[in-house]
Structure 1
Amino acid sequence: MTSSGKRRYSKYIRPINIAFDVLVLTLLFPYFFWELGINQFYFGTYQVATWFIIAYIFGFYEIYRFTSLTDIIVKIVRQGIVFLLVVIAFFPFSKQAIFSGQAIAKYLVIAFIIIILFKFVLFYYLKRYRVVTGSNYRKAVIIGYTPDALRLKELFEQKGEYGYRFLGFFSDRKQNDQVKGKIAEVEAFAIDNNVDEIYCSLNEITNYQIKRLVEFADINDKIIKFIPDTKEIFTKNLRVDYYEFFPVLSLRKTPLHEPVAKAVKRLFDVVFSLFVIIFVLTWLTPILALIIKLESPGPIFFKQGRPGINEREFFCYKFRSMKLNKTTEESVIKNDPRVTRIGRFMRKTSIDEMPQFLNVLFGEMSVVGPRPHLWSQNNLYSKSIKKYLTRLYVKPGITGLAQVKGYRGEISTDEDMINRIKYDVFYIENWSLLLDLKIIVQTVVNIFQGEEKAY
């Protein structure tokens, strides 16, 4: 029998999502396009077919209980932009159709507002439903009793909205109250307790045991997932090459070493920075200049030498958020007396960083990348933290992965800096334009939500 708490309707969520989207698109387009002379059958078929193709390519419906809000927003933005181009592309091939940018804009804006509202209502309803009722959960066990396995267990318990119920560990090396038994006993336990997912720490399981578990999962409709043993290294950008049929793992250079990747990132930086400078800084600067001047004497902008790519110094620009002082090489602390009232607001919302889009336009910085540290921090930590200098292989950024993960502002312990470097190195070794977009979206989300260390 199926446990009352087990998911019974999860398999229907995605079809409902898809059906709703198609229904919205199908019902709305005749209303906006009926005067444009298009063949409604052809266009309706065309848009539904292309919608599915785009969704398949970009994984628009690949949203799971552990998918973050940022990932969902990025998926929606990406789907919307590409679908807009596809809709526009239909008109040149239809002789009778009259192109109307206004009609297309109204259609897509209204359609996506409805689709987005439905998705977020569904997304938050399911999370809330899991927390309040304890329903729609998945039972999970972990093979291995390693630090990574313990962290995963904590994640299951802290993130109730993910909908996981952790039942225990299985280990041949460790025995305590949390360990339910030996690895060989996990199969019987999984059947008796209707376990949905089995997580395996690769540090504690043999090839034979993996093979046996995979066969067991196939027969009994269980999900097997693996926890890699990090051995305290931050990342290893591994690539699988095949010599005939022999697999070889090799370390590869970071994506940003590739000329095409560097050109794409630079093009994105130029376009994005020009947009911000023209449409934001042109009106924001005079307003802030007046407020800054009225509150305290001194320049509007603050510039400071920082280590850039390959440790070449550049001058990083900010709106001045402090009173004039001689301790600019000291990090800002909570309730720092040097910070002005408007400075507190600017630092809390990161508005003080906006002039750095000029640095981006000049090629000294990137929109996304490791944040540029003070020279005093650079000199101190480059000698004591492994991989610190890796962050200097690329241009520093206005925002970065470490910042959106909460590692920004005051550095009170070495652990704060170590975590920054961990995320910086991961970003460098796994860069993609999509990752940049995710970080930008998360930065905006964090600004509106507020950040504890933004001071």
Structure 2
Amino acid sequence: MGAFDVRDLIKVDAAAAATSEAFGPSKSGATRAFHPLAERIAAMPVKPTLSPVMIEGFVRLFDVLAVVGVGGLVYWLYVAGNIDNTLPYQVTIPALAIGALASFQALQLYHVGALRNFVAMAVRLVTGWTTLFMIALATFFFLKIGDQVSRIWLVGFYAGGLAALLGERLVVTLSVRQLTRSGRLERRTAIVGGGEAGEALIHALEAQRDTGLRVCGVFDDRNDDRSPDLVAGYPKLGTIDDLVEFARRTKLDLVIFTLPISAEARLLTMLRKLWVLPIDIRLSAHMSKLRFRPRSYSYIGAVPVLDVFDRPIADWDIVVKFVFDKIVGTLALIALAPLMLATAIAIKLDSKGPILFKQKRYGFNNELIEVLKFRSLYHEMSDFAAAKQVTKDDPRVTRVGRFIRKTSIDELPQLLNVVLKGDLSLVGPRPHAIHATASNRAYEQVVDGYFARHKVKPGITGWAQVNGWRGETDTEDKIQRRVEHDLYYIENWSVLLDLYILVKTPLSLLTKNENAY
């Protein structure tokens, strides 16, 4: 089997699933105890999944290439060199490619569910492609340019294009089915809220075909008769706090609330805990008595839901940011190699100890990563846990260290994190040390929703840094302002914003470095 079913685990270990009070110690070393079945699910390996949006995008690209390729090939084989006016062909080929995209979109031929069913998809594709050519012929007639376009080219284009599109879609169908069987298209989902509403939602979701949803379990803060230990065959794995920790330990794509909109206070309390996670959050509307316009909802199959939070930087945005990081990061590493070499020599001559300093920090979704920096403290005074922040005239800082910290040259080895390890981005919220504090309080205690900054991959530089919020965070106001800027970046990310921050970073290092020691 390509994917697990929670109910299969219940059959194997019924006692663990039926006893919600039987919590065991965490295998990961965390202090929070889990339902034993939640431990087992979180410990199971999860295959990397592909976004349906990206698959649909690739199919659109393949359609365009098929249409343009066939139109150009037939033109080259039969028409090229035999006509004086090439403009009708130069316009018709791209126009039909664009028309095919619009027509197939209207016929819903790009949804992953449609891509799995070749026969039904082929019927609609033939209809759309034929209709498109009828429109093209009508256009030639009304523009009185029919005699300027080869009829043999048109017939060859129609037949060849149809064959190419059907062949391409057959390959896509076989590929999508294989990806589905292997679990590469599933969306791991948690249901919040048990009882009748949760059971009705699960049954409604299971009645849908081709949604790719894989329910991992049910979570509910209630421990009375309204929330039984089993909901539609799925176990209740804990409370909302357990769900947050569960999402930290295993991949989770979607959370669906079954609570009614009228339960506003309870809903807000739960969302305040969950919005820090890099997942999509939806509110089920299938049992709601309120009826909005259909376009007010999004749909999982035919089940209506209200969008509450979306994972930032998802689907194609992830690809764009990945490519941007690798290309720009590699160029920056090459350009800055002489400076990094000179810095390494200076550090080695200035004090004993290694050139690089490695420190554990929080990365994406609170995962621990190892960040590289040039060593700026005396080796015997190194603070790997960042228990004490570096302050002005700190005696632990070497002579070279003062300069490279002031100019942020000490951060340059993190380009290796970006290019080789992939656990950092060029631009993003700066990764904080795991024991960092402000006014002797942990950052998460100072700022409500602090961990929301970990919804994206951390970066070497960021919106907070270019706005002057870099260096020491010795007061609660400083960390508050830094997190506010980080959240602004997450909510407003774009490639242009990343470029703007990268361009502005050198200038900010010169003009806004009063907090860097």
Shorter-chain TM-score: which interval?
A: 0.3 to 0.5
TM-score by length of 2: 0.39
- Rg larger in 1 or in 2? 2
